[in-house]
Structure formats: structure tokens, C-alpha cells
Chains A and B, each alone.
Chain A
Amino acid sequence: MAKPTTFSLDTLALHAGQRPDPTTGARATPIYQTASYVFKSTDHAASIFNIERTGHVYSRISNPTNAVLEERISALEGGVGAIATASGQAAIHLGITTLLSAGEHIVSSQSIYGGTHNLLAYTLPRFGIETTFVDPCDHHAMRAAIQPNTRLVFGETVGNPGLEVLDVPEVSKIAHEAGLPLMIDSTFTTPYLCKPFTQGADIIVHSATKFLSGHGVVIGGLLVDSGKFDWESSGKFPTLTEPYAGFHNLDFVEEFGPAAFITRARKEGARDFGACMSPTTAFHILQGMETLSLRMQRHQDNTRKLIDFLQQHEAVEWVNYPELPEHPNHELAKTLVPRGCGAVFSFGVRGGRAAGQRFIDRLELVSHLANIGDAKTLVIHPASTTHHRMDTEALEHAGISEGLIRISVGIEDIKDLITDIGKGLRASQRG
């Protein structure tokens, strides 16, 4: 008897979660731009409210278009379910607040997106949730940072801005030994390059604004549950294992088993915090996800060719990318992200801050802005933009040299990219 088969990632990226609309025959996912839904009767309404039947009540909590997106990312990541949120930041916030309360603690990689750092370092402490930041490559420090009140370990598949590759199998082991889940931001890699659930992660968050969409026209986030973490054995998560007064004393683990976390996140977090995604946004993200595999491979191919070019260029002092032998995580990258480390990397322009500015100002095709993951190539010069208030010493402390350029490589013809960046590099040296 042949082994059963199912669909591959490329096919699921196109189809998962959506079948032709049974009423209209529409092949594309319809945009259900509605706030609310008509009940068939009072008992039907009560049965949906009380989780006896499936259905939608109000689009802050669920929506048919969003549900397609949620199911699609769950399929691609290999999870049990997901929730679409207003932004990647909202996804992280929803995940954290579903699990943690005031007086509890997070251990986080220090190499993370600046927005996430702000949330963990400055905003959540106002609500009684503290974070200890550690070098993601220092597993001893990570283990030592875990306190009795720690409830979550957090990191990114490929860190920001140093592009450290997180050893997800090892870090998940550290977390699990302490009875803690590991939440991973997989925005840089997407499920095309890395599937953190297969490496031991328990929860995944995405900024769907980036590579998942590819077009840069919407803001959105996704929170995905692996269903693997044993909340009950851990004994540290009363929001999931004790009766919840906010939902008729529902015990989420007891009633929903592996889907406890994502169900609580929807029934409480989506309901009460309200950072929901617009169905039109979900539609746009779905359009992008349909071509995820094609785009990611092109992003990856272009990145490698551009790095080859930059390494040969006399105006470039250094290139930082995990696939290069000199990167400290080179070997780990080969194991954990064998298809590639993504399309974001940094390089140093010879001549410091002024040279970096001249490089940026000369670019015509490549866009100068604060984003990544667009199909178009994007660059930013932190020393003259996001970190312009810092002097040389402060920049060094932050791991940012004055000539550092961060680039998010798009899917243009690589010849055109090299031409534009080559012009910029030549201009950078004309100071």
C-alpha cells in the first residue's frame, strides 16, 4: 500500500484555506467586507457565541477572508491554527498577553527588530512584564537569564541587524527544560526558507507586511500556534489551564487540547485588545502569498549574486551575511536554513557616514526607506536615518558602523540592481 500524500508548500501557498466560493463560484478569495453576520435564530446565535457551532459573530474576532489567510499560514508553517492581526507588532503583543500577566518575565534575544525591542524594553514594563535581553548565540546566558517568573523565550530566525541565525533546536531545548514555550519571529525567512515548528518552536509570529505579502501595500501580522506545547505539564500558564471568568469559566486546555493557546488568543485577545486585520488587507496578503515560493527563490538568487558583486567592489569594506564563511553562524545556517538565509543583509561602504550618505543619495532604482521584504529593493543607512542621533561611539556599541547599509534585495533583474548599486558605490567614493 502506497503511503498517503498531501500537497506541497508551493501548492498550499496558492490554495490552502480557500475553495471556490460555493455561492458565486468565485475562484479568488472574496473580500467579506462586513463588520457582522446575521444569525439564523436566537438559538443559532447563542450556539455560536458559546462555541457550540462554527461561524462568525463580529469581524474583530473572525472574518471569512481573514480565516483563509489564517488557515493558509497555519498550513505553510505546519500549525494547528492562526490569527491575523493588525500588524506584526500586534501579533507579538497578542501572543505575549495571551500567556503573560503582570509580574512575569520574558527572555529575549537582543538581536531583534527595533519595534519589538521597544515593546519589550519600554512598553510592556509599564504593564508589569519585564524582559531580559541576551546574546542569541550565548546559550549559557540564555539559560542563566531564566527566572522563576519567566514565561516565554523569544527570538528571530535571523536576527536584526547582525543576522545571527538562532539555533532554534538548542534554544527550544533550553526553553522546554524550563517549562517555557519558544516564540519565534520568522518574518525574515518565511516558511519557504525556514519552518521553525519542525525545529522545536512553539509559536510563530510574522510581520505579513514583508515577504509574505511582497508588495508593501498593507500592514498585517500573523500569530501561529504549533499546538505542541504542553501547557498543563508546565503548570505556569493559568490563562490556559484554569477556568476563565471572562468566558463562563472555560478551561481552554481541557476543552480545546492542542488548540488551547490560539483559541484563548481569539476568544480573549482578539475580542478585548481588538487589533484585528481588515479583510481587504487579508485579501492583499493572500495575493502576495500565492507567489511566495517564486518570489523567495528570486529574492534569494538575487541576494547571492549581489553579495558576489559587493564582495569584489573596492568601495565595499565588508559584507555581513550568514552564508559567507566568515559569518559566525555559517555552519548553523547551512543546517537550519539550507534554502537560504533570506534577502536582508548589511554591508559597509568605505568612507564612513558621509560615504554612506552619498551612496544612498545616488541610488535611482533602489528605494531608500524604513522597511524590508518588498518585491522592490530597499536600502537604509542607519547612521543618517534611524540612528542619526548617535555618535560614532554609540553606533559602535549598537553594532552599527557609520558606513553600514542595510539592504532588502528585491526581485528586479539583477543586472539592473547591480548597475544602480554600482553607480551608488562609485558616487560614495567621490567625497
Chain B
Amino acid sequence: MGITFWMVLMPILAGLLVLLIPRTGEVAHRLLALLGALAALVLACVAWARFDYHATGFQQVSSLHWFTLPSLWHGASGSGLGGLEIGLAFGVDGLSLGLVLLTGVIGLLAVLAARPAERTREYFFWQSCVVAGLYGVFSALNVFTFAVALELTLFAMFFLLYLFGQGRRQFAAMQFLLYRGLATVPLLAAFVGLAYGAVGGYAATAGAITDHSLTLDVPTLLHVLPSASAQMLPASIRHVLFLCLLLAVFVEEAFVPFHTWLPTAHEAADPATSMLLGGLLTKTGAYALLRFGVGMMPGEVRHFGTLLAVFGVINILYGAFAAWAQADWRRLIAFSSISHMGLVLLGIAAFNAAGLQGAMFLLVSSGLLTALLFFLVGAIAERTSTSRIAELGGLSRRMPVLSGLLLVAALGSLGLPLTSGFVSEVQAFIGSFGSFPAVSFVALLGVILSAVYLLQAMQRTTFGPLLPAYGRLYDASPGESILAGLLVAMVLFIGIYPKVIGDLFGLTVNALLGMGG
């Protein structure tokens, strides 16, 4: 078994061990979850250290065979050489590794940030499950593994929301479950269609594949489908499959008009859960679009390019205007994140090196910044008992460190240079101006609006006279400072020296654009 397998397994093992500790062993629960997340992060870093920047395809592959479905059963016995292999497989390429590292960082920090008031055993069990599921999603090398991992995040996150949320937590959790649960239906439909579509396409790839059977193997599908689907499946079916995938992506990414679950969930979630939800879980849809859409159906992405770009701009503007109108920091961040994901969609629609690389950068940047924002707003709300903007004011006076960190997070989020936000946005815009200049001009409005809504919220939160009620608040604890400082350091590092993850993503971008390694 390779390191990618253990990387996914570590948080699950930790979660299971947590269940074995008695209910009262709260310190042990936290410590085990922490160890699991730390071990996974270390393994992810090992995978990074061993990563070969000159190789093509997936590395650190580890697979676990479960059973084989005979070809007689699934009917796609076009050449009838073998059965359908079902099992787990993990591995990383540049895109995967970038997101796996992001999972490692935010997963670890979320464990550190977690403050469940009671029932720590269940909390850390479900939290570990979410983290493991996310590792699985971003490193899955077959479609079955991807679906299983995605379902794991779905249920685990549901319990985190349902049991440990606040306010309308049950409503939020149900909405989350229904939306994302229903999204798996079109996703699976698209997967099955792709797998069957690939069978007929082996002949087209001139002997590269010897085993002409039905497969769910992602590398094989990536190899076969871009050329095969164009020849073997009728255009109408390909379009339907792509639209199925797109529908799933829209729900998972909380794109307008399928977004209502996200602000509600963030309003109900505790800060650590919000970090996982906003920092990682809302990146799975975009990852699926890049991996399965751009990777396996490039023709359809181009065909629907204008549609994607227009939807991207709608999301940028809708998210930005809605964020402007929000009275609560957490809803504001949620809509801000929707706006950023709109730019991801625009970058992908552009379908060129800058656009795709910008989209990938944005996933990481938005992940870090969203997690940072939710952590800081959570820290403030813990002191003031509110995250409503109108009830805050003048916090700089009593909390200069927390206010300063919040300002850095806001500035990163509005795309200030030397933060990861800028280098991501500028690439996405270079890409989109290359393909859709008119749409991109409209999208630039988002750059202005993000400054408006974030700085307006800052003005009302940390600037101005201190409200009397907050005269005795204390500033960030050393632990909080270090945790937020780590995220800030990463945001600045990527902003100042983007080459480090740029080289990773560049590999996948080149592969997606067919330029070779």
C-alpha cells in the first residue's frame, strides 16, 4: 500500500479510535483527531517531496481491489475480455496534490480550532470522517472511490451540522443533505455514461489499452475519453452527460441558483466546521469539473464555454451584490465565496493555460482565505456573542491583533497583490480576457464590488468608536494568533512566491491542454 492510501486512512483510523475512548476522555479525543490529521498532512508532504515534476500522469498510486463484476452482468461486453474492477485507488497529479495539501493544512487547523462544548467523541469522529473523505475525493483514482469519498463527506458533514450547529441547525443540516445528496444522482449518471462511453472508444486509441473492458479507472478514462467520446457517443448524449455533471457541480459549488444551502449552513455551523465547509467542501465541485469535465469531456466544455462564462459572471456579480447586502459576517463570507467560485467557473470556461491555472490557484487561495475568515469571525463571535455587523464596532481598540488579522484576510479576499488572492485572480482574468473579453469586462465589476462589501464590513467592525459593551474584551490568545498566523503566512507566501504551487498546477494544466509534460 502506498502513502496516498495511508494518507486517506489515517484520519479514519483516528476517528475510529476516538470512538473507543470513553465519553469523558475529551483531551484524548482531541489528541487522537489531531494525530490523525497531522499524520495525514505529513504523508501528504511526503508525497509532495517525492513528487516528480518531469513525469506525466498520476504518482504515488495505491490501489486496493475489492471485487470484480463479471462482464456478463453489466452488459457492456463489447470486447468481453474482463470484468469491471471495483475497489479503492488513490494517487496524485499536480492538481490533486495541491488540493490534498490544502486539505492537510485546513484539516489540521480545523481540528485545532474545534471547540465542541460537549460530546467531543462524536464531534471528532465525524470531523475526522470529513477530513478523510476530502483526502479521498481529491486523490481518488477511480470513479467509485470518488463517489464513496464524496458520500462520506456528505454524511459526516451532515452530522457535524445537525448535532453541533447553532440556530436553525436542523433545517440547515437537512438542506445540506438534500441538496448535496441529490447532486450525486446526476453525478453518478454522468459517471456511468462516461464509463460506458469509453468502452467503445478503445479502438480509437490505437492499441494503447489492451484490456478493452468496462472500467472506472480515472487515468484510463482520462486517456481514452477526450478522443473516444467524440467518436463513439452521439453529440446529444455527450451533451446530456456533460449537463448532468454540470448540474452536480453547480449544486456542490453552491452556484446560483442552487446556492441557498451554503449561507444557511455557514450560519449554523461552528467555526471549525465552517472552515472545512467553506475551505474544502465547496471546492469538490470545481475539482470534479476540472477532473471529469475538462479532463474527460474537453469538447463539451468548449461547446458550452460561453454558457459557463456567462454563469460565471452571474455568480461573481450575484455573490458580490448579495454579500454587500448581508447583515451577518458569516453570510457575507458565504456569498463572497460564491462570488469567487464564479471566477473559477469563468477561468475554466476560458479553457486556456492562464484560465485553468488561475481557477486552480483560486481554489487554494479561496480555501485558505475562507477558512481564515471563518476562523477569525468565529473568534470574534466567541467574545462578542454575535457576528452581526451592525452589532460590532471599534474592535481595533481592544483587539488590535484579531482586527489586524481580519483585515489581512479581507484584503486577501478582495485580491490585494502579494496575497494569494491577487495572483489567482490575475491569472483567471488573463485567461478569461483571452477567450471572452466582453464577459470579462463585466466580471471586473466584481473586483470593485469585493472591495466595497469587504471594506464596508471592516469599517463597521473594527473601525470607529468602540462600543461600550465591548470594553472588557481580550485580544487573540497565543494559540489563536499562531493558527491564524499560519494561514496568513501561507496566503502571503503564495502571493509572493506563487511558483511553488504554480509548478504543480502547471503540470496538470499542460496535460489538460494536451501540451505534454
A and B co-occur in one complex: no
